[in-house]
């Protein structure tokens, strides 16, 4: 009977022993070919990024992005990624050209100019691709 009680007390202790010899491998992915390492920022919500972009072209009609027709679409070149929130799957690189759409119709938007934008990432049906919806912007130049 004593052996049974002793076993009941020791089994949970041994099962939860942190020094049991289990080794956890570091499986974190590292970004390849990036110009700079960006720290996750607490001032940006998860799934959001702050960019400096240059507007290359604006589209008056609806434009398809990832197979979805969107209004207020612009073609941009990424000048700099300033901040990023957690959970971003595809961070654009410097000088990469993208199609982005504005959540609301932008007012006083220059046809060609530099903006600082906060954008939310949305995944496409093909999960390896994503697009960005601009939720706020500030005209820089």
Structural domain boundaries in the chain = 39-139
Instruction: Say how far apart CA 126 and CA 117 lie, in whole Å.
Output: 25
pLDDT in tens, the chain (141 residues): 888 777 777 776 666 544 443 333 333 344 443 444 444 445 789 999 999 999 999 888 899 998 889 999 999 999 999 999 998 888 889 999 999 999 888 888 887 789 999 999 998 888 888 999 999 999 887
C-alpha neighbours within 13 Å on the C-beta side of residue 42: 0
CATH architecture of 39-139: Beta Barrel (2.40)
Q: CA 61 to CA 54: how far, in whole Å?
A: 20
Q: Are 133 and 117 in contact (CB under 8 A)?
A: no
What region, left, alpha or beta, does residue 21 occupy, with left being phi > 0 and alpha being psi -120 to 50 degrees? Answer: left
Sign of the C-alpha dihedral, residues 64, 66, 68, 70?
negative
DSSP H or E segment with residue 17:
none
**Does the pTM of the predicted model rise above 0.75?**
no
Q: Which two tokens stand for residue 29?
A: 């992915």
């Amino acid at each position: 009977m004593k052996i049974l009680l002793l076993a009941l007390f020791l089994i949970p202790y041994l099962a939860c022993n942190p020094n049991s010899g289990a080794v956890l491998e570091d499986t974190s992915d590292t970004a390849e070919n990036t110009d700079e390492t960006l720290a996750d920022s607490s001032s940006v919500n998860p799934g959001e990024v702050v960019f400096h972009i240059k507007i290359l072209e604006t589209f008056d009609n609806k434009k398809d992005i990832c197979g979805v027709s969107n209004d207020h679409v612009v073609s941009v070149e990424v000048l700099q990624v300033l901040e990023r929130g957690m959970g971003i799957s595809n961070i654009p690189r410097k000088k990469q050209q993208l199609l982005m759409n504005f959540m609301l119709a932008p007012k006083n938007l220059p046809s060609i100019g530099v903006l600082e934008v906060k954008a939310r990432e949305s995944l496409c049906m093909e999960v390896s691709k994503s697009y960005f919806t601009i939720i706020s912007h500030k005209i820089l130049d």
